Amino acid sequence: MDLSLEGKNVLITGGSRGIGKSIVKAFAAEGARVAFTYRSSTELATALTESIKKQGAEAMCIQGDAADAEVAEASVSQVLSEWETLDILVNNAGITRDNLMLRSTEEDWNAVLDTNLKSVYNYCKAVYRPMMKQRAGRIISMSSVVGVMGNPGQTNYAASKAGIIGLSKSLAKELGRRGITVNVVAPGFVSTEMTKAISKEAQEAMLAAVPLGKAATPDDVANAVLFLASDRAAYITGHVLHIDGGLSM
């Protein structure tokens, strides 16, 4: 399927590992120039960048904390300086600090909300004027099934992911007349290094609630992002695409 991503310029936050890494590789494979941010995994980020370049695609990695507004502005400016336009923004950076609310701390709350939600605000604001000027653009942000359904022990994470949905729907209404779409991908249980650390019993309990009976792969999520970034999704905005095997039905 032709996704019309040849020559497009994309910026992905949190792209050095997990779902973010799969998204980076997927865009590069479809012919896009790919920039991605990372906070601390310099070795992984450098290796991913070199791997993409060896395959003949253009790539750059940018270190910085996505929760920092100045970092967001600088990241967008760097992409525009190198490639002149920024066609696609994927907000993927995220963390968890799970605990029952009774045992969680204000520090945990602030860390999760800053990384997961404030970073989306930072990067959306940073691309707002450039995309308005272009009269074109795609913004895709990663939420979660937890932001729709809730989950015990994840009040901070659920709040951040639900906030992304509200932010994106509002922004879609602001930017629609300028040819910019704003959408959300909400994964369910995805097989990553993070989820592999969960006990076998807990994984089995999660999968028992999934109608398809299996976890998603990072590539399943990346394919959804590719679609929303493509011309095939030109008339879709303000939408939440669930990649959860039916879990949120």
Could you count the other beta carbons within 10 Å of the beta carbon of residue 78? Answer: 16
- Is residue 157 part of the annotated active site? The answer reads yes
C-beta separation of 127 from 79 below 8 A: no
| Terminal Cα-to-Cα distance of the chain (whole angstroms) | 28
Separation of alpha carbons 182 and 174, rounded Å: 10
Beta bridge partners of 142: 185
Chain center to CA of 172? 16
Q: Which helix (H) or strand (E) holds 127?
A: helix 119-134
Chain center to CA of 136? 19
**Structure tokens given for 42:** 């310099």
| DSSP conformational letter for 201 | H
Catalytic residue among 123, 128, 157, 235: 157
Sort 125 into a burial class: Cβ within 10 Å, 0-12 / 13-18 / 19+: middle
Active site members:
157
